Amino acid sequence: QVQLVQSGAEVRKPGASVKVSCKASGYTFTSYYIHWVRQAPGQGLEWMGKISPSGGSTSHAQNFQDRVTMTRDTSTRTVFMELYSLRSDDTAVYFCARADSGLGAFDFWGQGTMVTVSS
């Protein structure tokens, strides 16, 4: 069965960076884009960007253009999202999600990774 398993919760100080992983299983890894979405406490869903596991091409939301890097390791079927220059308002749950190849809906999600930014 399709599964996306994310790394565990992280605590960082302002100005630091964090790298979250998302390990895929149960499907052809290179056939589906992986997206990253975050959710601040009590708030809605905010799209951050996507990566093609096949070629590694990425696209990011303008809000994160200079602060985020998305990479993948095809040998371990893992996608990574690294966010730099963390601020307190980056405190959120970060989700990875697979996009179906037809209409692009996010059909499978990781369990979420809580990132807390606090001095």
Partner 1 sequence: DIQMTQSPSSLSTSVGDRVTITCRASQSISGYLNWYQQTPGKPPKLLIYGTSSFRSGVPSRFSGSGSGTDFTLTISSLQPEDVGTYYCQQTYSSPPTFGQGTKLQIK
45 binds partner 1 (CB under 8 A): yes
Cβ pair 112, 7 in contact under 8 A: no
14 binds partner 1 (CB under 8 A): no
Among 35, 38, 72, 77, which residue interacts with partner 1 (rule: CB under 8 A)? 35
3-state secondary structure (DSSP) of residue 88: helix
61 binds partner 1 (CB under 8 A): yes
- Binding residues for partner 1 restricted to 87-116, rule: CB under 8 A: 95, 97, 99-100, 102-107, 109-112
21: Cβ contacts below 8 Å, ≥ 6 apart: 6, 7, 78, 79, 80
Among 12, 23, 46, 69, which residue interacts with partner 1 (rule: CB under 8 A)? 46
> To the nearest whole angstrom, how small is the minimum distance from the Cβ of residue 4 to partner 1?
9
Between CA 82 and CA 94 the distance in angstroms is 11
23 binds partner 1 (CB under 8 A): no
Q: CA dihedral defined by 57, 59, 60, 66, rounded to 10 degrees?
A: 50
Closest CA to 28 of 100, 83, 86: 100
Whichever of 59 and 88 has its CB closer to partner 1, that residue is 59
Contact residues for partner 1, defined by CB under 8 A: 35, 44-47, 59, 61, 95, 97, 99-100, 102-107, 109-112
